[in-house]
């Protein structure tokens, strides 16, 4: 058997806010959209050119309030060639959960999910 990693799904409470966050903080671009912003379920997939891995954001219109993330021990990780530039942006935005000695950091998205960002 042969497998390829395809996507990670996270639930969001405000699609526009989340898309803007991932575009600004991680440089992701919208790849495709499924459903509609007015429908009961709306998906937006973000990613990077040349990568098959996709971050799939899902908003369920019937859900009210924040999602229960439990202990939130899960995360995904991206790498950047310029961690100092990324860290400066994250410090300015006040979204750093913890820094890792100048080679990376964990940041928190608008719904409380942690993202690990490392020096490439």
Domains and CATH numbers, the chain: 1-62 (3.10.180.10), 72-120 (3.30.720.110)
CB-neighbour burial class of residue 67 (10 A; exposed 0-12, middle 13-18, buried 19+): middle
12-62 confidence digits (pLDDT tens): 999 999 999 999 999 999 999 998 888 899 999 999 999 999 999 999 988
Give the catalytic positions in this structure.
116
Q: How far is it, in rounded angstroms, from Cα 45 to Cα 53?
A: 10
For residue 72, the model assigns a pLDDT of 66
Q: How far is it, in rounded angstroms, from Cα 98 to Cα 87?
A: 11
Q: How confident is the model at residue 83 (pLDDT cuts 50, 70, 90)?
A: very high
Query: Mean pLDDT of all residues in the chain?
Result: 93
């Amino acid at each position: 058997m042969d497998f390829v990693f395809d996507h990670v799904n996270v639930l969001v409470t405000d699609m526009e806010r989340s898309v803007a966050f991932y575009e600004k903080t991680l440089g992701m671009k919208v790849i495709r959209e499924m459903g509609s912003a007015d429908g009961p379920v709306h998906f937006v997939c973000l990613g990077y050119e040349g990568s098959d891995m996709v971050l799939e954001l899902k908003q369920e219109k019937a859900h009210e309030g924040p999602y229960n993330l439990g202990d939130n021990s899960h995360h995904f990780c991206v790498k950047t060639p310029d961690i100092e530039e990324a860290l400066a942006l994250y410090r300015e935005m006040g979204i750093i959960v913890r820094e890792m000695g100048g080679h990376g950091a964990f940041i928190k998205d608008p719904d409380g999910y942690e993202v690990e960002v490392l020096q490439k």
